[in-house]
């Protein structure tokens, strides 16, 4: 896989040593057990896979290279490059301005942009209408496009089934940048609709088989279907694609539910199901799959708590928190500063995004066993600093430096 030029501020000697050792021991990535970093008083169980993915490193490389190659020019991002506050802050420190917030609210008018400016498309991609607007202004969107290749893979899959006469159901968060972009590309080719979760999928299913009153669909799913969508006919043939950072189990459950619904309603079998339901296969990206599977492997270890590091508006990170908290106390932080002390942590509720101080999050016994992972947009440097801070709370016989030396030996 391609190696990207990512600023050293995002690297960590400890994490680099861990990843290098695991890669040399498990080249096929079949071992999803965590890495034990035993400091004595505190034991860290680090997930097998975590941190920057291919798409994120690609976006960061393009962004910083664009800044270096365009001195004196105004450089804009359509929205956050990725869902990580530190990376976005670094870009702003280098003079990059955001045109929209993460929900599409305009911060700087497109009227203020000229053909002499540089506009970066973030890793989530963007809508066809925004691409057209920029191109009309003479801004070459393809030159500064950091859209993740795995997001584009989903778009391509949607286009393929659209050409075969299928409509599209998108599993995603309706307000998320990636979902908005995927919806735009899908709707340009075929009738499309977004479902956020299984509850909405079940509700949609009732319209598909005629159990719900068709007129009610348009208010119940307002803002989630393409222009001219006809619920009485547009879901007679369809396929499911998704926002790439959703929980793999959730997307699979939604796809399975709709497939079974269609099979029963139209009295189909495995031979005839393609008449009504497209085989889209799993469109989740490899990093989402690996990180979620690694968390499952990490949770097999006996531990006192879990810490998940990443941006609070990061979808893939929130799902890692969701997985961890099903088994043990889990704390969601975006930087080592949120570890206020040995006694208190500033934890983010992944449902509400509200933060609150939690007391006595670390048990009094030793060794304390802590599971740690991070989202696909979280720099390794933050993970390394979180570990260093946790170790600093204890009088441990081993240091981070000594652990690095052992890993490299």
Give the separation between CA 101 and CA 59, rounded to whole angstroms: 18
Structure token digits, residue 118:
């540089």
Establish whether 159 is a catalytic residue: no
The catalytic residue among 80, 131, 177, 178 is 178
Contacts of 176 (CB under 8 A, 6+ apart): 124, 243, 315
367 preceded by a cis bond (ω within 30 of 0): yes
Give the separation between CA 27 and CA 82, rounded to whole angstroms: 28
Helix (H) or strand (E) holding 201: helix 198-208
Give the separation between CA 264 and CA 211, rounded to whole angstroms: 14
Grouping H, G, I as helix, E, B as strand and the rest as coil, residue 299 is coil
Give the separation between CA 277 and CA 258, rounded to whole angstroms: 8
* N- to C-terminal Cα separation, the chain: 25
| Closest to 178 (Cα-Cα) out of 353, 319, 315 | 315
Give the separation between CA 296 and CA 323, rounded to whole angstroms: 8
* Residue 156 neighbours by CB distance under 10 Å: 12
| Closest to 239 (Cα-Cα) out of 176, 173, 186, 188 | 186
| DSSP 8-class letter at 371 | E
Give the separation between CA 107 and CA 293, rounded to whole angstroms: 38
Contacts of 46 (CB under 8 A, 6+ apart): 18, 34, 35, 36, 37, 298, 372, 373, 383, 387
Q: Which residues pair with 277 in a beta bridge?
A: 238
Contacts of 269 (CB under 8 A, 6+ apart): 263
- The position carrying tokens 């459950």 is 253
Instruction: Please state the length of the chain.
Output: 409
Give the separation between CA 289 and CA 248, rounded to whole angstroms: 7
Residues with active-site annotation: 178
């Amino acid at each position: 896989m391609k190696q990207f030029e990512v600023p050293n501020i995002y690297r960590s000697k400890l994490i680099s040593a861990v990843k290098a050792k695991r890669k040399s021991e498990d080249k096929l990535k079949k071992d999803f057990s965590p890495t034990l970093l035993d400091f004595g008083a505190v034991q860290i169980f680090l997930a097998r896979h975590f941190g920057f993915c291919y798409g994120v490193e690609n976006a960061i490389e393009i962004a910083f290279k664009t800044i270096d190659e365009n001195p004196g020019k105004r450089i804009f991002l359509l929205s956050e490059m990725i869902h990580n506050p530190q990376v976005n802050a670094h870009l702003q420190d280098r003079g990059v301005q955001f045109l929209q917030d993460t929900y599409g609210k305009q911060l700087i008018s497109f009227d203020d942009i000229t053909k002499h400016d540089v506009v970066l498309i973030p890793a989530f991609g963007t809508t066809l209408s925004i691409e057209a607007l920029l191109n009309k202004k003479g801004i070459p969107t393809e030159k500064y496009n950091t859209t993740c290749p795995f997001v584009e893979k989903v778009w391509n899959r949607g286009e393929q089934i659209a050409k075969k006469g299928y409509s599209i159901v998108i599993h995603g968060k309706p307000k998320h940048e990636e979902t908005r972009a995927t919806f735009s590309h899908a709707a340009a080719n075929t009738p499309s609709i977004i479902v956020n979760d299984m509850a909405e999928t079940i509700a949609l299913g009732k319209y598909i088989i005629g159990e719900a009153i068709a007129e009610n669909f348009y208010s119940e799913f307002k803002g989630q279907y393409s222009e001219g969508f006809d619920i009485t006919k547009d879901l007679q043939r369809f396929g499911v694609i998704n926002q790439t950072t959703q929980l793999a189990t959730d997307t699979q459950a939604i796809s399975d539910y709709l497939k079974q619904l269609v099979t029963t309603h139209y009295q189909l079998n495995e031979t005839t199901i393609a008449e009504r339901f497209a085989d889209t296969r799993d469109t989740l990206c490899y990093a989402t799959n690996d990180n979620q599977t690694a968390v499952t492997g990490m949770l097999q270890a006996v531990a006192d708590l879990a810490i998940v590091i990443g941006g609070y508006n990061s979808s893939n990170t929130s799902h890692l928190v969701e997985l961890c908290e099903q088994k043990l106390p889990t704390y969601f932080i975006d930087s080592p500063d949120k570890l206020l002390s040995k006694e208190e942590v500033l934890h983010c509720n992944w449902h509400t995004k509200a933060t609150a101080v939690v007391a006595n999050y670390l048990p009094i016994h030793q060794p304390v066993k802590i599971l740690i992972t991070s989202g696909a947009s979280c720099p390794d440097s933050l993970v390394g600093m979180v570990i260093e801070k946790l170790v600093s709370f204890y009088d441990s016989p081993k240091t981070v430096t000594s652990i690095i030396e052992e890993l490299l030996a």
